[in-house]
Every structure is written in structure tokens, then in C-alpha cells.
Amino acid sequence: MTRPALEALQADITTLEVDAIVNAANSALAEGGGVCGAIFRAAGRHELAAACAAAGGCPPGQARATPGFRLPARWIVHTVGPVWRGGSEGEPEVLASCYRSSLAVAGELGARSIAFPAISTGIFGYPAGEAARAAVATLSTTDTPVERVVLVAFDRATLRTYEALLAGTA
């Protein structure tokens, strides 16, 4: 196992040609808004909802996998990020665990490439810059059989943050 190559891009995660994409999920693995809703719509709501129900939920910091159904990605790795409560209630540790757990699940599936959204930065309220730093720090120090990790930004500001962190200028 080695450390994966990291890259950042601004894109629709549901269109990427990677082995697995990560869903920023809720603990019930039910369809939500934001990235989660987009993944459900693109993968096929009914099929993905049935697969998620069979998975039985997921606690924060852990990950579960389902097929990708209609997505270009073969698998969806669902992870539940922390709700931001100011940073002193274990949020950084839970967020780091999301990235490590997702890599572990993807590696067990045989995935060689994976794309991550900015976990917990939507309705869970995690500050985007802090979340990006946690993502890059965790992914760049985690050994995995996954060779390529794509950090997918929804907006230009998040992309610039990822790019600066990857270049070592942030």
C-alpha cells in the first residue's frame, strides 16, 4: 500500500469516470439534498434507496458501499460527516475518519480511483477551509491501495483552496 496521488477539480461528481465516488450522507443513508440528492438522482433513486436501506445506516466517521447503478462510477461509498458545533466536540477527528474509512472501503472493493466531495461543508456547516485542510492532511498521510484521489469542488473558492493546499502554498 502507498499514498494516493491527489488532485482537485471543479465538477459534477456524478459524471466522473472513477471507480468510486463518495456520498456525503446522513446516518440513515436516506436521500438528502446537495451532493447526496444529486447522487441519488443520477444513480437512480429507487435502486440506490433500496441498496442504502439494506446497508442499515452508517454512524458518523464510518463508511458503507453500494453499487453505483447508473453512474459512471462502479461504486458509491457513503460516509457520514460531523455536524459542525464549533470544532471542540470531536468534529476534526470524525471528519478525518470519514476520509480514512472511505479509502478503506474503496480499497476493499478493489477501487483504484475515488472522488470525494467536500464532506460536511453543506448543511452540516463545517467551515470549508478547515474541511479542505482536514481532507488534504488525512488523504496525503493515509496508506491505501487506492492510487488516485480526486477532491471535487462544487465552487471556484473551494477549488482554489484545494489547489493551494495541494501545492503547499496554503
What's the confidence (pLDDT) of residue 26? 96
Question: Looking at this protein, which amino acid is placed at residue 8?
Answer: A
Confidence of residue 51 (pLDDT cuts 50, 70, 90): very high
Q: Quick one: which H or E segment has residue 150? A: strand 148-153
pLDDT exceeds cutoff 90 at 42: yes
The span from the CA of 135 to the CA of 117, in Å, is 10
Parallel/antiparallel/unpaired status of strands 75-80 and 63-67? antiparallel
Burial of 155 (0-12, 13-18, 19+ CB in 10 A): exposed
pLDDT, tens digit, 9 for 90 and up, residues 66-121 = 999 999 999 999 999 999 999 999 999 999 999 999 999 999 999 999 999 999 99
The radius of gyration of the chain from alpha carbons, rounded to an integer in Å, stands at 14
Residue ranges per domain, the chain?
5-167
What's the confidence (pLDDT) of residue 123? 92
The mean per-residue pLDDT over the stretch 121-146 comes to 96
Confidence of residue 158 (pLDDT cuts 50, 70, 90): very high
Going edge to edge, which strands form the sheet with 20-25? 5-10, 148-153, 113-116, 20-25, 75-80, 63-67
pTM of the shown model: 0.97
What's the confidence (pLDDT) of residue 170? 72
Torsion angles phi and psi, residue 153, rounded to 5? -100, 140
> Mean pLDDT score of the chain, rounded to an integer?
97
What's the confidence (pLDDT) of residue 169? 83
DSSP letter at 2 equals: B
User: 54: Cβ–Cβ under 8 A, 6 or more apart, which residues?
Assistant: none
Output the 3-class SS for 62-119: CEEEEECCCCCCCEEEEEECCCCCCCCCCHHHHHHHHHHHHHHHHHHHCCCEEEECCC
- As its CATH architecture, domain 5-167 has 3-Layer(aba) Sandwich (3.40)
